[in-house]
Amino acid sequence: MKQREKIIPLATGNVLEIGVGSGLNLPYYTKNIEKLTAIDPSKELWDRGVVNTNTLPFDFEFLIAEAENIPAKNQSFDTIVITYTLCTIPNLKKAFSEIKRILKPNGKLLFCEHGKAPDNFVQKYQNIINPVWKKIGGGCNLNRNIPAIIEENGFTISKLETMYLPGWKPASFNYWGIAEMK
């Protein structure tokens, strides 16, 4: 997916990826990072891994954990990466509290997510479909307003790009960018 290629290479330093899944982002990290710690609550999804982590050009660690309870020390990460994960996190307020706790003061949050479309017609369908979609899609919400969620939880978005990706419009509006703590 081209969106991953746009955001992942911006990660630097000590990096945490929240919601690593099967590791789809791993090929896009560069040598600009010292260590990547990746968390996901699903060991089964991680076991479907697409990348041999032994060949990565940086230190790597996978932990089974949820965004609402990140096993890391305060202010320990330079960059936090979250892609296609904010749609499924049950307690966003608690997750962002954890993100703010572990991110260094001048750190950055890199995000790439699908969410609430700008068109009223598409929004209507997102809202109608969302209850069923959430049940069959592993908790995925089609209609979350990603920029608002990020900003309401103590971050300022310094760069934001949006577009519909090819595909089914209710699930294809994407947001990606960079945010810093307020």
**Considering the entire predicted model, what is its pTM?**
0.97
Number of domains in the chain: 1
Mean pLDDT, the chain, integer: 96
Per-residue pLDDT of 133-149, as tens digits, reads 999 999 999 999 999 99
What's residue 153's pLDDT?
Answer: 98
**Containing structural domain, residue 168:** 2-181
CATH for 140:
3.40.50.150
- Looking at the predicted structure, is the pLDDT value of residue 155 above 70? yes
Classify each residue of 78-111 as buried b or exposed e, where b means 16 or more C-beta atoms within 10 Å of its C-beta. Answer: bbbbbbbbbbbbeebeebbebbbebbbeebbbbb
Per-residue pLDDT reduced to its tens digit, 6-60 = 999 999 999 999 999 999 999 999 999 999 999 999 999 999 987 899 999 999 9
Alpha-carbon distance of 11 to 167, in angstroms, equals 28
